[in-house]
């Protein structure tokens, strides 16, 4: 029978993390804050044929990959299942069928080993990626979150609590990258392809900034910027004129990213917090990384910027957030369900 009522929390547990919310089937092992292995099997190239993630293809790919990715992670960590102290898994947000593959596997494993199951919010996983790069990192700090579903500046107050300082009123930054890529005819996934195109272009087109003007407190909007890029491209093609994709990409990137960087630094300075972190797929963007590094350096702020492999979806970040929940004894029941949507902060 599954019974963890007498479970004793260890200071340096071995946690196996599983991620399957979108198109990456991932498994990682940590001991305390030390990463022992980090494995990914991706269906992104399969999804690229359809211009985006097809949920049914994602679920099937997870089903085929989950055993193998877990075995790889155990082997690379040089441990066996018996060494696992807890199993952390993404329960949402994401594609329901995809989430259920990882969650069901994690439940089975936790049940068989009689160890805690930890249900991780994918976005909190992205935020915990910073702990992988700096195991000594401790809140408080200001965090820039920019992903496919969320864009916000947060005041991370403790290992388990944060306050939203500013957020997008509509689309997320990642969504805007993906839509602009589509209008420029660039393949899925859009973000990295916009970045690549922008490297050969100049930010010479005056697109509206993602910072909402005349708002009492800072907030962002990506729908106006996205529409401006779409209109700009359509107007040119209606006139039979060529679209300079590198210039559009560079101009869009600047309008999308500058306000995020500037306001993150402003918030850190105004709150008197001396550390900045970042998380989410868009944090993989080289222009964002360069600008955030420069601005933090100029303002004497310590920046903990997760490596690119910890910004895009991975299981190491799920295990890292799993540790935060483990240490506070926040375990999930075997009846834990998957959730397609979770509010920011949930
Ligand atoms: O954080 P993430 O996995 O999404 C959610 O969990 O919601 O990130 C996916 C998003 C996509 O929109 C993708 O285009 C974007 O991150 N992305 C990038 C880059 N790499 C991924 N955006 C801009 N530049 C990149 N290099
Ligand atoms: Zn993600």
Please determine, for residue 336, whether its predicted confidence score (pLDDT) is greater than 90. yes
Sign of the C-alpha dihedral computed for residues 211, 213, 218 and 224 taken in this order: negative
Give residue limits of the domains in the chain.
14-128+311-327, 138-308
- For ligand 1, pick from 281, 290, 310, 314 the residue to mutate: most ligand atoms within 8 Å of CB: 281
Check pocket membership of 148 for ligand 1, CB cut-off 6 A.
yes
pLDDT at res. 45:
85
pLDDT at res. 345:
84
Please determine, for residue 46, whether its predicted confidence score (pLDDT) is greater than 90. no
Closest atom of ligand 1 to 21 CA is 6
Q: How far is CA 346 from the centre of its chain?
A: 15
Alpha-carbon distance of 132 to 317, in angstroms, equals 7
- The CATH number of 138-308 is 3.30.420.40
Question: pTM for the whole thing?
Answer: 0.97
Q: What is the pLDDT of residues 120-148, one digit of tens each?
A: 999 999 999 999 999 999 999 999 999 99
Check pocket membership of 282 for ligand 1, CB cut-off 6 A.
yes
Across the chain, mean pLDDT equals: 96
Check pocket membership of 178 for ligand 1, CB cut-off 6 A.
yes
Mean pLDDT value across residues 260-275? 98
Check pocket membership of 174 for ligand 1, CB cut-off 6 A.
yes
State the residue for tokens 């800072």: 218
Q: Band of the pLDDT at 171, cuts 50, 70, 90?
A: very high
Supply the residue whose CA is at minimum distance from atom 16 of ligand 1: 281
> Which ligand is the nearest neighbour of the Cα of 150?
1
Check pocket membership of 306 for ligand 1, CB cut-off 6 A.
no
Mean pLDDT value across residues 316-337? 98
Q: Band of the pLDDT at 237, cuts 50, 70, 90?
A: very high
Q: Any idea which of 153-157, 202-206, 214-218, 325-329 has the lowest mean pLDDT? A: 214-218
Q: What is the pLDDT of residues 192-208, one digit of tens each?
A: 999 999 999 999 999 99
Check pocket membership of 279 for ligand 1, CB cut-off 6 A.
no
Q: Are residues 18 and 66 in contact, defined by beta-carbon separation less than 8 angstroms?
A: yes
Q: What is the pLDDT of residues 13-25, one digit of tens each?
A: 999 999 999 999 9
Please determine, for residue 346, whether its predicted confidence score (pLDDT) is greater than 90. no
Architecture of domain 14-128+311-327: 2-Layer Sandwich (3.30)
**In three state form, how does the secondary structure of the chain look?**
CCCCCCCCCCCCCEEEEEECCCCEEEEEEEECCEEEEEEEEECHHHHHCCCCCCHHHHHHHHHHHHHHHHHHHHHHHCCCHHHCCEEEEEEECCCHHHHHHHHHHHHHHHHHHCCCEEEEEHHHHHHHHHHHHCCCCCCCEEEEEECCCCEEEEEECCCCCEEEEEEECCCCHHHHHHHHHHHCCCCCCHHHHHHHHHCCCCCCCCCCCCECCCCCCCCECCHHHHHHHHHHHHHHHHCCCCCCHHHHHHHHHHHHHHHHHHHHHHHHHHHCCCEEEEECHHHHCHHHHHHHHHHHHHCCCEEECCCHHHHCCCCHHHHHHHHHHHHCCCCECCCCCCCCCCCCCC
């Amino acid at each position: 029978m599954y019974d963890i009522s007498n479970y004793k929390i260890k200071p340096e547990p071995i946690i196996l993390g599983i991620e399957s919310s979108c198109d990456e089937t991932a498994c990682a092992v940590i001991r305390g804050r030390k990463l022992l292995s980090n494995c990914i099997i991706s269906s992104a190239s399969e999804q690229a044929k359809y211009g985006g993630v097809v949920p049914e293809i994602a679920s099937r790919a997870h089903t085929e990959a989950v055993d193998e990715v877990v075995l790889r992670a155990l082997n690379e960590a040089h441990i066996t299942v018996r060494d696992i102290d807890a199993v952390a898994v993404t329960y949402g947000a994401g594609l329901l069928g995809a989430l259920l593959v990882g969650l069901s596997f994690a439940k089975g494993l936790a049940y068989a080993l009689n160890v805690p199951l930890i249900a991780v919010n994918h976005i909190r996983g992205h935020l915990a990626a910073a702990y992988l790069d700096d195991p000594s990192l401790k809140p408080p700090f200001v965090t820039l979150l920019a992903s496919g579903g969320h864009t916000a500046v947060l005041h991370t107050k403790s290992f388990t609590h944060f306050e939203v300082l500013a957020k997008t009123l509509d689309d997320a930054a990642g969504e805007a990258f993906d839509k602009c890529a589509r209008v420029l005819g660039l393949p899925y996934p859009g973000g990295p392809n916009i970045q690549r195109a922008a490297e050969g272009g100049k930010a010479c087109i005056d697109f509206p900034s993602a910072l909402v003007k005349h708002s009492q407190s800072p907030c962002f909007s990506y729908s106006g910027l996205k529409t401006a890029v779409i209109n700009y491209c359509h107007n040119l093609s209606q006139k039979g004129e060529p679209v300079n994709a590198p210039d559009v990409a560079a101009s869009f990137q600047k309008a999308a990213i500058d306000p995020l960087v500037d306001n993150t630094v402003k918030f850190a300075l105004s709150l008197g917090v001396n550390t900045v972190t970042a998380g989410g797929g868009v944090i993989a963007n080289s222009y964002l990384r360069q600008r955030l590094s420069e601005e933090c350096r100029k303002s004497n702020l310590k920046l903990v910027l997760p490596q690119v492999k910890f910004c895009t979806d991975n299981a190491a970040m799920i295990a890292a957030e799993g540790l935060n929940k483990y240490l506070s004894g926040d375990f999930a029941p075997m009846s834990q369900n998957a959730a397609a949507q979770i509010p920011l902060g949930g």
